[in-house]
Chain A
C-alpha cells in the first residue's frame, strides 16, 4: 500500500507494532519509521504522545532508546523491568507451560514459529495475530482474549511505570489500544 487514503487493516497495524517492539537498530528505526509512527498517533489524536517524540532520529537518540530497551526487556540494572514474554507474568519463569500452550495454538491454526525466539514473545504473538487477520478479519479475537491480554496488562503497566523513553511507552500504549477486548457494544457506543 502506498501513502494513500485506503483504509488501514488491523493485520498491518499488528505487523507495524511488532516491528516497533523489536530491538531498535538504525537499519529500520529511522525517520521514515518515525514519520509513520507519529502519523498513527496524530490519527488517534494522541497529540501529547506525538509531541514527546524526537523530531529526527540521531545517533544519540537511537542509543537512548537502545539503552532503555535493553534495561526494560533484556538485561537491566537493577533488574530487567518487563520481560516481553507471557510465561513470566503467568507462570513466573521463561519458556514454561504458557509458551507451550501458545505454540500449540499456533499449530492448531496451521502456523509455527520460525525464529530462535520463544512462542510467547510479544513480537511473535503480534506477528501471529497479523497473520490471522490476514486470513480473515476478526480471527485474532480468540487469541487476543485468551492468550494475549491475560498477561499484557501487567507488562504494559511495568513499561509505563518504569520506562524512560517516550517511543517505547507510546508503542506499548498503541499495542494496548489495538488489542483491547472490544464488544460490539463498545463499537456502537464509540460510534
Chain B
C-alpha cells in the first residue's frame, strides 16, 4: 500500500485507463439524493395521522400518530375513541421502537445454510415468491393440500389463512391464540351459554368482581383495565383466586391462595354451597337454566370441606367468597379469563365459571356478563372454496369434539413427524413463533426439519424464523391497512354509542416490507389461483367490507379515523337465553355433561410447579426486542416463596437456571424474586423471554424461556388445547 498517500495526491496522479471500461460506465444506480427546492430547517410541521389501530397486543387500541417529515415521532390514543380514549399502554407507546428496530426484517431472504443455523441471502421479491409458489404447488401435487401446515397469528394472518384453508384446502391450521391460549375458554362457554365470552363482563358497574387466575394490571388492555378500575372506584369487592400475590391480588378484598390446578374444585365447592343453601338465583335458573337437576346431583359431593382439602384453602374462606357472591348477586362479574391453557382440565373450569354466573343470575345485568351491542353490517370478503376438502385430523379420529376452529397443534406436529396418517411437507408460519408458543420445542423443531419447505412471514427475526427456507418481511401494523374494529363505549353506564374504525397506515413501510394481500395474491397467482383472488389490495378489502355501512376509508379519514353512531342499551337477557348447567350434547360426545373436576399431576418431590403469565411491559415474545420495553423489564424474575428460598439457600437477586423433571435445562438464567407472595409448591415467571435467535440483539438470552421448560404436554380432552402448567422445575444457582 502506498505510504502516506492522500486522496488529493492520488486524484492528481491516478488514472484508470487500464480498466476494461470507464469508471462512470459501471455506476448504474440512481443516486439516493437529488436536487430539491430549498427547505429551511424547522419548516416540516407535525402532522397527525389518524386511523391507527395498535397491535402491540390483541386488544387493538385506537391510535393517532404524530408524524414529522415522514417519520413517526409518537403514538397516542385517538382522542375520538370511546374505547381506549386518549390512553395507550407502555407497549402501545413503544410501537415507535418496533417500527425502527434495527433488527427488523427488511428484505426477502433465502436460507442458503441449514434450518436452525441459517445463512441468509437477500433475494428479490420475485425470486422469493416464485420459490414459495413452486414449493407449495409441489407439495399439493405430491401430497394434496393436506401436505401443507399453517401456523398463523395476528390480524395480517387472516387473509393467508383463508387462502390456504378455503381455496387451497388444507385443514392443518393451528392458531396459538386458540390452542395455546383462549380456545378452551371459548368452547367451554359456548357449550354453557351458546356464545364465546370474550372478556365481556361489566366490571365498571359490578358489586363484586371474581377473577380466577386473572392478572389485571399485569395484562394491560386499556378499555378492559378501565372497566376494572372503574368498578374498584365504585366500591366493587374484588376476589382474586391465584397461587401468587399478583397485581390484582394486591388490590383484592379476598385473596384465595389456591393450590395450582384445583380451580374447578374450588368453583364446584362454591356452587354446591350456593345450591344446597338456596343461595342461588332460583328465578333466573328456573327461567334460563337447562339440566339444573342433573347438575345439582353431579356436584352434590363437593362440600366445602372436600373443596378445602383439594384446593388447600380454608373452608371459611371458600364460604366467605360464596357468601359475598350470593349477597351481591346478580351484579357480579364472574370473569371468564383469557389465557386458559393451564392444566389440561381447563374446559371444566370454563364451564364452571359460566355455570357459577348462571347460579348468580349474573347475565344481562349491571356488573354481570353483558355483551355490548355493536354496529351491524360489516361485510365479509374472503377467498372462495377450492376443489380440495379434507377433514381435520381430530375429525377423522373422532376426538376433541369441542375443538376450536382449526386443528389441535399437537396432532399436526405428530402427523408431520410420523407421516401418519399422511405426510405434511410444507409449513407456512405467519406472525407466530411456535418455538415459544407450543410446548415441547424439540418436537416442533423435529416437525420443521422433516419439511420439504418452510416459509415464514414476520416483522422480526423471532426464534422460529431460524428454521425458514424463505423469510419474508411484513409491513407492521403501523404501516398497513387491515383490521376493522367495531364496538361500543367501555362503560355501559355512559351514553350508548357505537364505533367503526379500520386500521390505516400511520407511516409508509420502509425497505421492501409488504402487506399480506400483496404476498398472498402473488403466491396464489403462482399456485394457479389467480381467478380466485378476492381483492387486489387491503384498501379494496376494507372499502368492500364497509360498503353496506355507508362508510369508506375516505369517509373514516374525514371523521378522524373513527365513525361514531348512536348505540343501544346492552342490558337484558333474551327470552330464549339458556345456561346449560348440564349439557346433553357433551354427554352424547362422550364427555361429562356437568362441570367436573379432574385432578392434575402432583408436584414430584424436590420440584416446583412452573407457572407463567403476563407482564405489563411485554406481549410475550413479540415485544422482547423492543428496547424501550426491554429497558423497563429486561428479564423475567423467578418468583420464589421465601421459606423455599431459605431451604434452597437462595437470596433475592440470586441468578438461577432451571432444570425440569424430564431433565431439560434452561439455556439462560434469570434472577430470583424472593417473596411470601407465592405458594411454596410453585414458581412463577413472565412468559416469552429467553430468545434464542441472536438476530434479536436486544432479546437474545434475556431471561429464561419458560416454554423450553414445558416438555410435558397436557391436552384438554374436550378441545385438544394445550395445558402448559403441568411442568415441574428445580432451580440451580448460577
A: residues with CB less than 8 A from B are 1-10, 12-13, 15-16, 18-19, 22-23, 27-28, 31-33, 35-36, 38-40, 42-46, 48, 63, 66-67, 69-71, 74-80, 83, 85, 88, 92-96, 99-100, 103-104, 106-108, 110-118, 121, 123-124, 127-128, 130-131, 177-178, 180, 182, 186-187, 189-191
Contact = CB atoms under 8 A, between A and B. Distances in A.
21 contacts: A3-B22, A7-B12, A8-B15, A9-B11, A16-B26, A16-B27, A27-B28, A33-B26, A35-B20, A36-B26, A63-B112, A66-B121, A74-B109, A75-B109, A75-B695, A77-B466, A80-B103, A88-B102, A93-B97, A94-B101, A111-B33
Contacts of A69: 122
Given A1-B23, A36-B26, A67-B112, A75 B106 contact: yes
A124 B16 contact: no
B1 interface: yes
Contacts of B24: 1, 12, 15
Given A39-B19, A83-B102, A187 B1 contact: no
Given A43-B16, A187-B6, 12 more contacts: A3-B22, A16-B27, A33-B26, A67-B112, A70-B109, A88-B102, A95-B100, A107-B40, A110-B36, A110-B38, A114-B31, A123-B32
A79 B32 contact: no
B536 interface: no
A140 to B, nearest CB: 11
Interface of B: 1-2, 4-12, 14-41, 69, 71, 97, 100-103, 105-107, 109, 112-113, 117-122, 461, 466, 471, 508, 510-511, 627, 693-697, 700
B120 A76 contact: yes
Contact of A100 (B5, B39, B69): B69
Given A27-B28, A79-B697, A182-B7, A71 B119 contact: yes
B41 A107 contact: yes
B66 to A, nearest CB: 14
Contacts of A114: 30-34
Q: Nearest 3 CB-CB pairs, A to B?
A: A78-B694, A112-B36, A39-B19
Contact of B20 (A3, A70, A83, A107): A3
B14 A43 contact: yes
B122 A23 contact: yes
A188 to B, nearest CB: 9
Contact of B700 (A67, A79, A88): A79
B291 to A, nearest CB: 57
A80 B102 CA distance: 9
B2 A45 contact: yes
B120 A67 contact: yes
Contact of B71 (A27, A63, A95, A128): A95
A128 B33 contact: yes
B29 A7 contact: no
A29 to B, nearest CB: 9
Name the residue among B8, B12, B471, B511 with the largest chain A CB count within 10 angstroms: B8
Main secondary structure, interface of B, reads loop
A93 B700 contact: no
Name the residue among B8, B31, B33 with the largest chain A CB count within 10 angstroms: B33
B32 A113 contact: yes
A166 to B, nearest CB: 15
Contacts of A31: 20
Contacts of B34: 111-112, 114, 131
A35 B19 contact: yes
A46 to B, nearest CB: 5
Contacts of B103: 75, 79-80
A45 B10 CA distance: 11
A22 to B, nearest CB: 6
B32 A32 contact: no
A187 B26 CA distance: 29
Given A112-B39, A131-B31, A74 B16 contact: no
Nearest to A128: B33
A35 B69 contact: no
A108 to B, nearest CB: 7
A67 B28 contact: no
A39 B695 CA distance: 37
Contacts of B12: 7
Given A19-B28, A33-B26, A77 B38 contact: no
Contacts of B696: 79
B32 A124 contact: yes
Given A36-B23, A111-B36, A77 B8 contact: no
Contact of B33 (A23, A44, A96, A106): A106
Contacts of B1: 44-46, 48
B112 to A, nearest CB: 6
B198 to A, nearest CB: 37
Given A3-B17, A75-B461, A12 B36 contact: no
A42 to B, nearest CB: 7
Nearest to A124: B32
Contacts of B10: 8, 43-44
Contacts of A45: 1-2, 5
A94 B9 CA distance: 36
B511 A116 contact: yes
Name the residue among A22, A70, A110 with the largest chain B CB count within 10 angstroms: A70
A96 B101 CA distance: 11
Contacts of B6: 180, 182, 186-187, 190
A107 B23 contact: no
Contacts of B101: 93-94
A7 B9 CA distance: 11
Contacts of A23: 107, 122
B27 A190 contact: no
A191 B7 CA distance: 11
A101 to B, nearest CB: 9
Given A74-B107, A100-B71, A10 B33 contact: no
Given A74-B109, A93-B97, A190 B695 contact: no
A131 to B, nearest CB: 6
A106 B14 CA distance: 30
Nearest to B30: A114
